[in-house]
Every structure is written in structure tokens, then in C-alpha cells.
A and B are shown apart, each in its own frame.
Chain A
Amino acid sequence: MGGLQKKKYERGSATNYITRNKARKKLQLSLPDFRRLCILKGIYPHEPKHKKKVNKGSTAARTFYLLKDIRFLLHEPIVRKFRDYKVFVRKLKKAYGKTEYSDVERLRENKPSYKLDHIIKERYPTFIDALRDIDDSLCMCFLFSTFARTGKCHVQTIQLCRRLTVEWMNFVITSRALRKVFISIKGIYYQAEVMGQLITWLVPYQFSHDHPTDVDYRVMATFTELYTTLLGFINFRLYHSLNLLYPPKLDSKTESELKEEDEDDYAMNSESYLEKLSALSSSLARVVSTAEEEEAELDQFPDEGEDIEKLEAREKEQKQLEAQKKLFDGLKFFLNREVPRESLAFVIRCFGGEVSWDKSVCIGSTYEVTDETITHHIVDRPNVDKQYINRYYIQPQWVYDCVNAKIVLPVEDYFLGVTLPPHLSPFVEEKDGDYVPPEKLKIMALQRGEKPAHGQEDEEEEEDEEEGEDEEEEDDNEEEEDDEEEADEKSLKKMEEQRSKGKSLQVKVTPGKMKVENPARLEEEEKAEEKRLAIMMMKKKEKYLYDKIMFGKKRKVREANKLAAKRKAHDDAEKSKKKKKTRK
């Protein structure tokens, strides 16, 4: 008896969430402003566990934010700036309406602006946090830096993006942090390891964009605003961690070399420095001029109780990494004009190679085509008129494949006019049971130091072996049962075969051989049956889960088998074609 009546939806999860519209009203912001605020502050909606409870009994689709998040936004100084801006726009409109142009001018000079430094600091309290989240910002900046300087966004933004990306690339070159490169149909993926964080970004190909109409560039611009700020601070910190000057300066030595060329051909004075930086062909100036990086030796801590094996593995990895960093040391590349210059120059310089290009392609070329010391000439056309004897003429894919394989690959497959071997993604790590393309197997063999088999026969043999494997896999596929069950089936088949053999024998003479059975196999069979019976006794929930897992596994196997079958069909077709050719 007594006590207040409890009302519904006044406690519990209903009070922890707030709908978007309510949040907007609470913050007194328009929807676009609210969006901008959410983007900048990194506030995202939450999915309540019991949606109906939170939604006060209604099942209408609504977006919910955490009430705490919105309270957090209430104290954001930028909200005030947004309101100021709204007032500014109103005043400006009024002044225009009254044709008071002096007022307009005065207002424009006092246009409210905001800085995002504190937000960056708040969102990424430590530097590592910021580094971890830099993927998107890099992608976005690289995209914006390729935009034409008309229309879609402010020219300053584009220039800033370009500047920041060039700085980033220069940093990656200097720190030799690049690990993997992948040419996809979307663009070129790069993966670098900076302070132990793997950072992946995607750079579109250098084409003008066909701007879609169903994309809200305001949203993208807001993101870019945040990302440029973030990237700028990160670049600053990274440059200082390497004792480099920020904003980057070219090395005085190289600068003087570059000065000789007349710069006016390429760009105006104001832009030429950025252009020279973006050429990526020269090293950067350091605060303290030190000798070339001294390698930090991995100290050994033998008595830390760690397994010796682990330690050894780590050491080995370290060595491999060092070797990869010096992949192109001592090689001199020359880029023909039709290859993507920036990407190749970036990759080659990241691994210690020297690179140059024709003077008329871009600023910053360091040597001519005629240089006798050039070892590799990268060409992407069927043939070249004038060839020098003492260099390889190769297609650009070689560079990328070498980086991914971590060794200098043999150049034969990449000569001009040769059908290139497939370019594989370095990001795929095959677990056992997954399909591994044969090219990858070859590269792995090369990595282990095995000599590639050159002869045609050997290759065919290899193929045969692969086929054998494939066939086995196919058989597995057809059965589509658990591995053990497959094993069972196999054993059963074999038993049957044995039996049939036994029978045929029995007809002839020996009556006693029929019962010969493999005890191990019998045992296996028994186990399999046990398992099947146990599965029958599983609870409904567990059984569901089990079935799901098994289904996933089977699907994986099926897909792998499908790929293998496709490959086999393709190889067969190729072979038959070859045979026909030889016959002719």
C-alpha cells in the first residue's frame, strides 16, 4: 500500500537514450549543424538493446543517441561558434538587403571561425590513438588532393590536402615504413608500419573525377576539415620524431642541385617548392644533420623467460624486415613517361632505390635516360625504340611484386610485351584449408630460397601435382561432409573395395579372407558413429550453433574447391591451346 505509482519509461534504458530530434532541440542546432558537430566530435548513434522499451513502446524506426554523449556535446565550445556563424549570416544578409556595403565588409572581416585542435586532442588523447585512426583521413586527403580546383570544394582545402599528403609520403620515404603495395582496380593500396601501427590507405588513379550527383559534398568537406587537422598534427609529430624539419625542407645539398634547372617551366615560384617536394626524388633536411640512420640493434634479453623459439622467430622477422627495407638499395630506376610516376617514385624511394624520369615529365628528375648506371628502366608499352644493353626493361608490376614478395624477383616474367603473371593481394593471409593460388606458392618457394624450375617439363610436372591435389579436393567437395565423415566414407569405400576383392577371391579359392578388416579403420568408424550419436543428443540451441559453424566451414571448403576447379579448367584450356599451336 502507499508509495508513488511507478510510471513507465521513466527509469532504465528509456532514460539513457535520446532520439536525434530531441537531441537537436536540446542543442538548439539545425540538422546540418548537428551533423557537423557529430562528425567533428565523433558521436555516433547507438542501437539500444531493447528498442521498444527505449522507444516508449513504439516500434517506429528512430535513431538513438546516448544521452551522455549529447550532454557531452552541450559543453562543446564549437556549438557556440556554430550559433555565431548563424548570426553572422543573418547580419550579412541584412546588410546586403540594406545595401550597406561598408557593413558587409566589416562583417566579413569578422567572420567567425573555429579551430579543431582541442577536438583532436580530446578524441585522440594519445598519439598512438590518433595513428590508429589515420586510415580514413589519409584516404580522404588523397582523394581530395586529386580533385580539380573548381567547383566541388574550396581550393585551399585541395591545396592543403595535397600538401599534407606530400608531407606524409615524404615521411614514409624517410622512415622507410612502407610494407605492402597493391594495385587494385579501385586504386593503389599502400600499407605502412608507423610506430607499430599498420596504416593502410588507398590512392585513386590520376584521372579527373566524374563527380556523382548523389553525394553530399558538405559531409565530405566536414570530414576533410577534421582529417586535415588531424593529419597535420600527426605529420608534425612524426617529422619531429625523425628529427626532420617541419614544414619539410629539402636537403640543402639536393636543393642546390635542383636549383640549376630552371624552375619557371613547371610552376610559379610560390608553388614550385611543393612541386619539388612532391617529386619525392630528394631527401629532406634534418634538424640535426646526422649520419644516415643508425640501425637500432635489437637487444637481446635471454633471461626474460621467453621461449627461445619465439625470440628467434622475432629476430628472424626483424632481419627480414631490415632486408626488405633495403630491397632496392643500389638499384637505379628510370621511369618512362607513361608509367604512374608518383606511385612508382614513392615505392622505389621507400625501399632505397634511386629514381629519375624525363625532364619534361615533372620537376625533380635527377639523371637522364642516357645515364649508363641505370639498372632498371620501367616501361609500360609493348616495345621501346632505343634500348640500352646494360639495363633491364621491365613493366611496372615488377616493382610492386618485389615489394610484396620482399625479395628482388627474377625479371624474366616482366619484360616488355610479356604476359604478366597475376598480381596478388599481399593482404590475404591464407590459413590452412583456404585456397592458395599457384602463383603465391611459387613466390613462397622463391622466398624460401628454392630455385624456380625453368624447364617446361618441370612446370608441367608441377601442374600435374597441383591437379592431383585439386582432384582430391574436389572429391572432398562432392561429399560435402565433415572431414571425419569424409574420412569415414573413404574408409567405407575402401572397405567395400576390399570386400569385393575378397569376394572375387572367395569365388576362386580362399573362404577365410573375407573377414580381414583393418582394426584402426574400424576404430575410426566407431568414433565417427559415436560422434554422430552424440550430435543427436545436442541441445537445440547448441545444435543450431554447431550447424552454423559447420555450415560456414563447409562453405569455405566449397568456395576453395570452386576456385581450384576454375583454375584447373583454365589451365587445361591453356594447355590444349598450346598443344594446338605446337601441332600447327
Chain B
Amino acid sequence: MEFGAVFRSLTFPQIFNFNKKPAEEEEEEEDEDLSDSEDSVFSGLEDSGSDSEDEEEEGSNDKEDGDDEGLKTGPEESEQVEFYVCVSRVFRVQLFSDVVVPVQDIRNTVGNIPMEWYRDFPHIGYDLDGKKIYKPIRNKDELDEFLDKMENPDYWRTVHDKQTGSDIVLSDEQVELVNRLQRGQFGDVNFNEYQPQVEFFSGDLMVHPVSNRPADKRSFIPSLIEKEKVSKLVHAIKMGWIKPRRQDDDSRGRYYDLWTNEDSSILAKHRMHLPAPKIPLPGHHESYNPPPEYLFTDEERALWEQQDLSDRKFPFVPQRFSSLRQVPAFPRFIHERFERCLDLYLCPRQRKMRVNVNPEDLIPKLPKPKDLQPFPTTQSLVYRGHSGLVRSISVSPSGQWLASGSDDGSVRFWEVRSSRCMKTVQVGGAVRSVAWNPNPSVCLLAVALDSVVLILSPSLADRQVVSSSERLLSGQQEEEPAEGVGPVTWSEGEGEELNQGIRLKIQHPKAVHQVAWHAKGDYLASVMPDHSSHLQVFIHQVSRRRSQNPFRKNKGLVQCVSFHPVRPYFFVATQRSVRIYNLVKQEMTKKLQANSKWISSMAVHPGGDHVVCGSYDCRLSWFDLDLSTKPYKMLRHHKKAVRGVAYHRLYPLFASASDDGSVIVCHGTVYNDLLQNPLIVPVKVLRGHVITHDLGVLDVTFHPTQPWIFSSGSDATIRLFT
């Protein structure tokens, strides 16, 4: 309880001490350093004083410290004086460092050594007599230290002397001295720092010189170094390396009339110069308050944001502000100006001639279709009856009958004028091609289905004609089939087939795609497209029931064939080209390059000098055989593949049928004069067929005498346009 009471009574100074402590501790440390460096001077003297104080404290605090007292000895009265003397000696050392004064502790003879060396010994040195000086027995632990710190009012001025191992309490004078030293003042209070200085060398001229040395020679003669420097400068000025200071002319900011005498001669130099185009002027979009229609909708804005910078129509988003004070600065202003600068000096300039044509002028001037009549203009009849798409049609040479072959396996005979189906022949297979014999004195029809070519005698003519055709068919019986088994076999129709009019069957090795008659009506050509075989075309002679393969080599996939109407020529259209063979000489005379990917159909002009080819890549090429092997004209009228082409026998007309469901009739006059090129004018686009399964019009043919045109389509109808 006693301890507690004491503690309580000391709380106030304790706090006070705490406040003061840090600075003082520093001071103490410095003091220690100082004493260490300058030979620990006053260790022994303070021993006693500090000890006595300690004693007192300890006496008041702790009764167990009694052991210490016995060791502590020393004259207390002389302490102050001694200390002062020591300190002043230190000062002297500081001031006049050249004067060596051996300062040594009188009590401890170990000298200025680190005292740690004695840490493990019971003594800390030797006195003058060589006897050990023992360490004071200190059993102060941390707690005692702390309590001491708290309770001892002189703690802050207590210094530990390492050399003697004792604590020294500094007196007021000593503290004052330390403070003065720390402030950088002299230790002696009475010392005057600012004594008037006595100058050894003054401006006053004295009677006697300081030294009596005679003047040097160099003070009489000019300096060589200076001369060298000056001559260098002079040389530099002479050479123009150093320029005289330029007069500050104010002419830079001065303006005058630059164009007083304008001469146009300079203009001539600049003929190649292109002035930079001006910045386009702003439209309504750029207004700060544009009409509402110029603002972006949400979609437009989203689009604008997605677009690449170069694709944007405007480099900014139109905005609307209700009043002028709300308009902010345009963030890209400097950018735009800079870009303009870049354009001005980095962009290549080029004079571009703007095409300023009236589009009407581009349209070629053609004769009016009205002047080129007659040609079919309107759809007048529709022949219905087939149930499958009608692949092929053919008109009899008299123009009275129309034969059609369809995918439903039937061949129908129609009367042209009444659109009545006169006869239906079931042939049992999809019909690929039908062809009337062009000879008006016989009435025969060739039908191609699968690998068979049938010769029908529909008996739709005068008895005389029918009989003549019968004769033609029967005439062959005289021919003995002695050739043996060729690739083609001829057989006669039997039984029911005879009733239907099927007279002859010509069996081919492969599927037949097309049949074509010679103009005389005796020869018949059939096409079997095949990549690998040379057996692609056969020419049959009906009257002698003979077949022959005219080609020994395969020259490409044969698309269609045709006989020349007058001369003994044979046209074979392969994928890319049309070959013309002379049948008499048995050699090729010409090869026409169609410039298209895949020829679909071909027709020969009745004059025989012109050929028109339709192709699957929507083109129609007109060849003038006298002119060149390249097409005279390419027509791209159709939007889809061209399926069929046809010439009119009498009128200067030709037509093309396409998958886009249209038939385009063109006027194609051919002049007898070789110098005049044929005149080709499209005159009518005929529509009527319905597109089914992506197929439109499949075949087209003209009436032999009238300007009428028949077309058959995938919608199972045949239409007549007149």
C-alpha cells in the first residue's frame, strides 16, 4: 500500500517528466557522445554526487539498496569546480586543436578505449596505483529504471559514466554549459565573440611595404596569352565566323502591299498546281438546333456507333440544344483542324474528271419496236393437258400441228389454232426431245426418250403425205440389216405401238438428249452427252435404216447439234464452243468460242451464216460466221439460265427462253451486204409461264410461217404468243 501511495503522489511530476523527456534524453545521449569522444573527463568526480543523489532516492524508495552505499566514496564539495575545469579544458581542445593536451582520467588509467572490453570483468580499470577499480554493484532492473525515470526529478540531468560505471547528476551550471555548446556558443559566458578584428592587410597605404620584393618583368611587357586570345578573336571576325551583333530589324511583323505589281508570268509556272479543295459546307445536321428529322433515332445512333470511322456519314452525332447558352465546346475541334492540316500537306492531289452525263444519253438509240413489226406481242392461247413439265415442242412444217413431249411420258399433238389436243401417244418414259421432220412432203416426228429414238407417224396430214411418209419408212425394208450388231439397233413398232403411230425404234447405247432433222428430212442426228465416250452423236438415215458415228474422238461434252439448213455442214455445240464440220469433206471448218461457261442451246439462222447460242450463265451470244469466231454480240437480257433459243424461218426474229419465266423476242435483221453488221433489237418481253421448281420456260419455237411463238414451260403448259 505504501508503494501505491508514493506512486500516486508522484503522478503529476511524472507526467511533467514525460513531456520533457525526449529532448532531454537526446541531450543526454549527445552528452555521452561528447564525453566519449573527448576523453571521458569527469567520470570520477561525478561519481560521488550522483551516487549521493541516488542514495537519497533509493533511500526514499527502496531500503534494499543499502549495499551500494559502502562502495560510493569521494569528495563531494570539490565536484563542481573540478567539473568546470574539465569542461573548459575540453573547450580549449576544441578551439586550438593543434595544441595537444593529454587529457586523462586521473582515477582510471585504461585510457580512451571502448569500455565494452571490460564488460565481462568485475572491474573496469585500474587506478594510479595499479589496483583494480571494481564496478559498482548495480542491480537496477528495468522496473527500477522506469521508476527512477518516473520519480526522480533529476533523472533528465543524470548521465551514466561508462568509465566509472556510475551515474552523474549534472548541476545547473553544467546544464547551462551543455545548452550553450549545443547552441553553438562559446562555453564561457564572458567570452566576447565579436571583438573588433585587427586587419593585417588593409587598404590603407602604409609607409613600408609588406614585402620588399622588386616588381616582375611580366608586369612591364604585354601578355602573350592575351595577345593570342585577341588575335584569335580578330581572326574570327575577319573570317566572318563571329558576326557583329545583328541590328534588330522589325521587318518580320511588318506588312506592306505585297501585290503591287501582279504579273501573270508567275501564273504560268503554276499550271500544274491544284488548289486544295475547300472544306465542305455544313448542312442542317450540324446545327445546334436542327429540325427534328435530322436527329438520330436510336437505331441510327446504334448504327453510327458500330460503323467504322471511315464509313460514317457524319463524323459527329447531330444534337439539339434548346438554347445557345447550353452549347458546349466541340471536343474534336483541334483534331479536325489538325486533320485538315495533314490533308493539306500529305494528301496526294489528283484532278478527277467527274462524269457529268445525262443517263438518258447513255441509252442507245434503237429503232422503235413498233417499226419492226410484226412480232408476237400478246399471249393468245394456252395449251393445257400435260401433267409434267414440257421439255420440248415442235411445230409441223405446215404450221398446223404442234407436238410436245413431256416428263409425264406422253407426246401430244395439238391443233395450233384451236388449242385442241388431237392425239396423245403414251411412250412410257420422260420425253427429252421431239422434232418434226422439216420436209413438208412427209409427216414424221422423232421423239427421244431414255435411250430410244422413236419415229412417229401421227397421220395428221393429207392422205398423200401420210402415204409418202409410210413409203419413206417402208423403203428401208429393202435394206438388209447385214451390218451385224452395231451400237445402234433399229426395230419396227409392233402391235399396239403401230396403232399409236410408232413406226420405228432406234435403240441407242445411252440416254438420248436431243434429236435434230436434216432439212431434207432423211437424216436424223441424235445426241447422247457423255464425257468419256466418243459415241456422243449419231447420224441416222431413215430411208436406209442406217446409223453412223461421225466422230472418232471425244472433243468435249456435246450439248446439242444442228444441221446447216442449206449446205452440208453440221454444228456441234460442246460446253464452251461450237464446232462446225463439213460433212462432205469430213473435216472441221470452224470453231466458235462462245465466251460462256456452259452452252445450253443453239439455233442456226435459216440463211446459215449466223448462229445464236444460249448458255446457262444467262448469256446469249450471236455469231456471225463470216465475221469472226468470237461472238458478234453478247446479250445479257435474262436474269437466269437461258434454256432455249430459236430463229424464225421467214421473219427476222429470234427468241430466247429462260428460267426467269420470260421469253424475249428480238429483231435480228441480217443484211446481204457483208459490210453491214446485223441489227439486233430486243422488241418484246413475253411473260406468262409460272416458275415451278426453279424452272421457267424450257423450250421455245417459232411458227414456220406466222410471226407466232410457242413456248413450253415447267408449269406443264404450252403458250402461244401472237
Contact = CB atoms under 8 A, between A and B. Distances in A.
Contacts of B242: 106
B486 interface: no
A420 B362 contact: no
Interface string B93-120: 0000000000000000000000000000
Interface in A100-136: 106, 109-110, 113, 115, 117, 120-122, 124-127, 130, 132-133, 135-136
Contact of B329 (A209, A215, A232, A237): A209
A46 B328 CA distance: 39
A21 interface: no
B264 interface: yes
Interface stretch (B122-130, B247-255, B436-444, B545-553): B247-255
A538 interface: yes
Residue of B245, B257, B279, B288 contacting most chain A CB atoms (<10 Å): B288
A349 to B, nearest CB: 19
Interface stretch (B365-373, B530-538, B601-609): B365-373
B258 A126 contact: no
B278 interface: yes
Interface string B333-360: 1111110111011111110000101010
B325 A381 contact: yes
A563 B281 contact: no
Given A39-B345, A44-B344, A537-B682, A530 B323 contact: no
A389 interface: no
Interface string A213-224: 011100110010
Interface string A267-286: 00000000000000000000
B131 to A, nearest CB: 69
B278 A135 contact: yes
A427 B283 contact: yes
B465 interface: no
Q: What secondary structure prevails in chain B residues at the interface with A?
A: loop
Contact of B258 (A233, A439, A533): A233
Contacts of A236: 255-258
A109 B369 contact: no
Interface in A145-186: 160, 182-186
Contacts of A63: 346, 348
A566 B297 contact: yes
B282 to A, nearest CB: 5
B663 to A, nearest CB: 14
A210 B328 CA distance: 12
Size bracket, chain A contacts: 35 or more
Given A135-B278, A538-B362, A187 B330 contact: yes
B303 to A, nearest CB: 13
B222 interface: no
A395 B347 contact: no
Contact of A45 (B253, B328, B346, B637): B346
A267 to B, nearest CB: 20
Given A136-B340, A437-B291, A205 B346 contact: no
B246 interface: yes
A526 interface: yes
Contacts of A567: 291-293
Nearest to B296: A566
Size bracket, chain B contacts: 35 or more
Contacts of A219: 338, 341-342, 345
A419 B322 CA distance: 7
B552 to A, nearest CB: 40
A397 B281 CA distance: 20
B337 A140 contact: yes
B284 interface: yes
B293 A570 contact: yes
B333 A35 contact: no
Contacts of A531: 363
B666 to A, nearest CB: 9
Contact of B324 (A121, A183, A427, A538): A183
B683 interface: yes
A233 B255 contact: yes
12 contacts: A47-B349, A63-B346, A125-B267, A136-B344, A183-B288, A185-B316, A186-B333, A204-B333, A212-B335, A219-B342, A533-B682, A534-B366
Interface of A: 35, 38-39, 42-47, 63-64, 66, 68, 106, 109-110, 113, 115, 117, 120-122, 124-127, 130, 132-133, 135-136, 139-140, 143, 160, 182-187, 189, 200, 204-205, 207, 209-212, 214-216, 219-220, 223, 232-233, 235-237, 240, 246, 338-340, 380-381, 395-397, 419-420, 422-425, 427-428, 437-439, 526, 529-540, 542, 545-546, 549-550, 553, 563-564, 566-567, 570
When A and B form their complex, which 3 residue pairs have the shortest distance between CB atoms, in order from nearest?
A427-B281, A207-B329, A47-B348
